[in-house]
Structure 1
Amino acid sequence: MKILLADDTPANIQILHRVFADQGLEIFIATSGDVALENIRRSQPDLVLLDIMMPGLSGFEVCKALKEDEATRDIPVIFISAKNETEDIVEGFDLGAVDYVVKPFRLEEVIARVTTQLRLRRVDQENQKLVEAKNVFLGMAAHDLRNPLVCIRGFSELLKDEDLDVESQIEYKELIHSVSNEMLTILNDLLDISQIESGKLKLTLKPNDLGKLVERRVHLNKNIAKKKEIQILSELESLPSVQFDFERMGQVLDNFISNAIKFSPQGTVIRVRLKQSENKARIEVVDEGPGISEDEISQLFGEFQKLSSRPTAGESSTGLGLAIVKKIVNAHGGEVGVTSEVGRGSSFYFCLPLDAPA
């Protein structure tokens, strides 16, 4: 984090600079009010230690200018001054300072006050990031839900036509059913990510057979793949039982397989492999799709991330699935990853420890 020290007394600057530099903080120095204001606006420090009686602008004038500027108003200011009258201290707080230290100062006290304000600054910055992430989350969720709702409304309006032929009625009802399933998927993903982020994800861990998990999920996805003339093959090594939540890991594998189906062209093959890799069980889903660029791979497991490649049959995606996958696997003490080559296909995998405790 960054601190600006503004004081026209070299001895004070020297002491404070040495102490806070030793704590790994980045230090900026100003010996006049005008220079302090310019440096603050340019460097955007996380905290300002500000003398009041300096050449040029006074500390009070600098603080007033900072609080009137939207770009700097949230930077915390601690006055450190020989002005010890009550009215001076009150004026400092009235101008927006978070603290006031009287000279001659006790170094331990200054360190404690600065440490407290930097800790609060970190919390404030983290909270701001959460608010921004929440706003993005709500905006994306609203967008993803709005489109299917518009479709349902449009088709239901068409169904109100008494002269509509039976074939069209069946078609519109099927479309409404399909779109409502898309909405349910979005809502389930939103609920899952919310539950995981709030720490309420509960796992039922017990010894399970990963081979059976693969066989079951491959079987469940074969009919979907068949519609696109895609073949799913399983290649299974015999492994000992592993501690995992059968339903949650089924959700992980379903995500990998369904993504492979979405992005694979007609007539290709998807391979689901189970094997041992050192002291871990590794499941990978290998497709013959378009592949993923290196730039996109680094963003894949984040929330609301969508690829530039589009599903080959127009299937929908919330952009939350892989974020949920990563959190579920991490909760098992495992890891997820992907290898890919543009134009050749991708291999999504997860690993679980073979010696996980019960």
Structure 2
Amino acid sequence: MLSKFYARNLWPQRKHIQWHIYTMGHMPLWRRPLYGYLAGFLLVSIGLLTGLERESWQIPVFLPSAFLNFYIILVAFIWGFGPSLLTLLLGLLVIDWLYVHPYGLIFHNWSIYNISFLATFALSGIIISLIVHQRELARLHAQLNTDKAQEAHRQLEDFIGLVSHELKTPLTATQGNIQLAQRRLRRYIKESEPADQQRLTSVQQVLSIALRQTEVQHRLVDDLLDASRIEGQRLHMIKVPCDLVQIVREAVESQRIIAPMRTIVLEDIPDECVSVVADADRIAQVVNNYLSNALKYAPSDKPISVRIEKQASQARVQVRDEGPGLPEDEQERIWTRFYRVSTIHVQEDSGVPNIGLGVGLHICRAITQQHQGMTGVISRPGAGATFWFTLPLATTALYNK
């Protein structure tokens, strides 16, 4: 019954799993079953020699038998059930010859005691081999599933990166053509009659809307690329000494241009330079993302405040809004990729595009961590939210580098 169970269930599974493990390069050559049969033969031979010399060496009778059991477990764990079964059969012959007197059961000593002794040894060896084999099979199966998942994840990231690169080319061309059309249209408006200027102006407005939409699509593609680079650990930074105050001021001005009807207040901004060693464009990306989120979720009549603080060896940037706030159980999840809080909705009159993939904060955390900084949020429902990040000051950053 055990042999039928093994033939129908365990053997096909092991051969299938081991084939994948071998082909994927995760199984050493010496762990293939052929080497297991050879190892089992050699180990039993050592047990035989030990048993033959037990009297001259004064070795207890149970010691070679215990070693034979150990050999069976070892072979089953490393090489599988087949080699361990051979080891068991050879071990039975050794026990029969050395410990079943006179001259073993295979000759003429067919006593009930000897038969039960060998049967018990054989049954226990088979059960031990099956248990050890199943455990190793489960480990191999888990390893195979992990490898498949990692390969699927890698292929997904490669696909996202490839699609994002392919999308950037037509988007860039579209933006260039729209901008060229706008320049020509402005010249035509100057040269046209007053009656035609109104029609041309309406066309210019349509082109402006189209250009803004392509800019939004370009930003989404860039976010996808950044998320893919983060997962593949390919997000590179060009770090140079720069002024954090200037970076924040420029980010605030760009958001004021995007949402001119909203109020963004700079509070407690140091007058002196706050020097950090950083990739200025990437840090501006973090600030812009914080501000964009604040503008999306806060009421349009409430201001957004931005603050920079120097704390010992680091600088801290805070962006505070008076929006709906975040529950405590959501404050860590929002930093994961593609996660969006379902219970919080964008304000209809926010003044900024309501389009996103749920990767902005994930990218912010990755950028900050590559600068040896930290990110976080202070919030509670109904009381707004303060998103912050820290960066080492220039002297500390240069020392750590």
**TM-score range with shorter-chain normalisation?**
0.5 to 0.7
- 1:285 CA displacement: 0.6
2:391 counterpart (339, 352, 357): 352
Distance 2:158 2:283 in 1: 27
**In the alignment, which residue of structure 1 is the partner of 2:296?**
262
AA partner of residue 5 (structure 2): S
The one-letter amino acid of 1:54's match is L
**Matching residue of 1:158:** none
Q: Over alpha carbons, which structure has the higher Rg? A: 2
Alpha-carbon distance in structure 2 between the residues aligned to 1:121 and 1:194? 22
Mapping for residues 198-217 of structure 1, pairs under 5 Å = 198-217=232-251
Query: Residues 120-143 of structure 1: CA distance to partner in whole angstroms, max 9, x if unpaired?
Result: 5543343345557778x69x98xx
Contact 2:321 2:386 in 1 (8 A): yes
Q: For 1:269-288, what aligned pairs fall within 5 Å after superposition?
A: 269-288=303-322
**Structure 1 residue 297, shift from structure 2 partner:** 2.2
Query: Does 1:126 pair with 2:107?
Result: no
C-alpha deviation, 1:249, in angstroms: 0.7
Whichever residue aligns with residue 322 of structure 1, its letter is L
Task: State the Cα distance separating 1:255 from its structure 2 match.
Answer: 1.0
Q: Return the match for 2:361 from 290, 297, 322.
A: 322
Of 241, 260, 267, 1:234 maps to: 267
Structure 1: gaps (5+ residues): 1-52, 86-97, 149-164
Question: Does 2:195 match 1:195?
Answer: no
Match of 1:38 in 2: none
Mean Cα deviation higher: 235-244 or 200-209: 235-244
Counterpart among 67, 79, 84 of residue 103 in structure 1 = 84
CA change 1:99–1:125 in 2 (3 A) is farther
**Distance in 2 (alpha carbons) for counterparts of 1:130 and 1:198:** 8
Contact 1:225 1:231 in 2 (8 A): no
Shift of 1:215: 2.0
Work out the CA distance in 2 between the residues paired with 1:128 and 1:326.
Answer: 25
1:335 and 2:282 are equivalent in the alignment: no
CA pair 84-231 structure 1, distance change in 2 beyond 3 A: closer
| 1:171–1:99 distance in 2 versus 1, CA, 3 Å | farther
Closer, same or farther: CA 125–188 of 1 in aligned 2, 3 Å: closer
More strand by share: 1
Question: SS of the residue aligned with 2:335?
Answer: coil
Partner of 1:223: 257
Q: Which has the higher helix share?
A: 2
Q: Contact 1:305/1:319 (CA < 8 Å) preserved in 2?
A: yes
Give the letter for the 2:390 counterpart: C
1:303 to 313, 337, 342: 337
Residue in structure 1 matched with residue 65 of structure 2 by the alignment: none
1:61 equivalenced with 2:8 (yes/no):
yes
The 5 Å alignment of 1:27-176 reads 54=2, 57-63=4-10, 101-103=82-84, 122-130=146-154, 169-176=203-210
Cα displacement string for residues 158-204 of structure 1 (whole angstroms, at most 9, x for unaligned residues): xxxxxxx6676455433322222211111121222233333333222
CA distance in structure 2 between the aligned counterparts of 1:242 and 1:255, rounded to whole angstroms: 20
Q: Is the 8 A contact 2:245 2:274 kept in 1?
A: no
Paired residues in the alignment total 265
Rounded to whole Å, the distance in 2 between the matches of 1:279 and 1:318 is: 34
The alpha carbon displacement at 1:311 in A equals 2.4
For structure 1, which segment, 313-322 or 58-67, has the greater mean C-alpha deviation from structure 2 after superposition?
58-67
In the TM superposition, what is the alpha-carbon distance from 1:332 to its structure 2 partner? Answer: 1.0
Q: Percent identity?
A: 25
CA contact (8 A) 1:231 1:268 kept: no
**Letter aligned with residue 200 of structure 1:** R
Work out the CA distance in 1 between the residues paired with 2:12 and 2:143: 24
SS at 2:238 equivalent: coil
Residues 1:327 and 1:198: Cα distance change in structure 2 (over 3 Å) = same
RMSD: 4.5
